[in-house]
Amino acid sequence: MDEIFFSTDIEADGRIPGPNSLLSFALVAMTADKKLLGTFNANLETLPDATQEKENKAWWNTQPHAWAACRSDQEHPRAALNRCLQWVQSFDGVPIFVAAPGGFDFMWMHWYFIRFLGTSPFGLRLLDMRSFLMGQRGCAFGAAGISSLPAWMSEGLPHTHVALDDAMKQCAIFGNMLEDNRAGRAGGQNGHRESA
């Protein structure tokens, strides 16, 4: 079966699920040849016994547009995750979770899927974009940040801290990373388009 890549971004009110809550998440489905298949996003009600971290609240106070976006049309987590599970499973392929940083976004989504549904469509299939870039470039982890890539790789998409916007930007970057990988280019460094 073909692999389907799900570029995922989450927004939360703290550092770990359980004591803190997942506020919003978005996934963008894409094939290995950069064909966009669809998007999914949801805003969640907070967990009843969780609290927002003080530092997190201070940061959100600097992002009023993103905060308003993630607090509209809230759903119970179980309902949203069930819709998401069905959406992921509607694609004919093996679902691969893609994120940057992979560990953070995957931790939240995996915890919520298991907590509310008892299963996850991704299993443990996680692709961390920074690790991918480290291997592609043959460089140290510290030199493989997504911010080190040429500007054209994000295709002009903004980073707004709105989950769907950021998942779309990340999807564009990852698609270009895959394209460069197939062509034997190291993250847009060799013989590809010039940085914008």
Residue 193 counted as domain residue: no
Q: Could you give the CA distance from residue 174 to residue 34 in angstroms, rounded to a whole number?
A: 9
CATH number of the domain to which 52 belongs? 3.30.420.10
In order along its 196 residues, the chain shows pLDDT tens digits of 899 999 999 999 999 999 999 999 999 999 999 999 999 999 999 999 999 999 999 999 999 999 999 999 999 999 999 999 999 999 999 999 999 999 999 999 999 999 999 999 999 999 999 999 999 999 999 999 988 899 999 999 999 999 999 999 999 999 999 999 888 876 555 444 433 3
Residue 118 counted as domain residue: yes
Tally of domains within the chain: 1
Residues recorded for the chain? 196
Containing structural domain, residue 19: 3-182
Residue 81 counted as domain residue: yes
Q: Could you give the CA distance from residue 107 to residue 18 in angstroms, rounded to a whole number?
A: 11
Residue 192 counted as domain residue: no
Residue 189 counted as domain residue: no
Contact 102, 128 (CB under 8 A): yes
Question: To which residue do tokens 């004591």 refer?
Answer: 19
Sheet of strand 36-44: strand arrangement: 74-75, 36-44, 22-31, 3-12, 94-99, 126-128
* φ and ψ of 73, to 5 deg: 50, 55
pTM: 0.92
Residue 188 counted as domain residue: no
Residue 195 counted as domain residue: no
Residue 133 counted as domain residue: yes
Q: Could you give the CA distance from residue 183 to residue 111 in angstroms, rounded to a whole number?
A: 36
Per-residue pLDDT at 195: 36
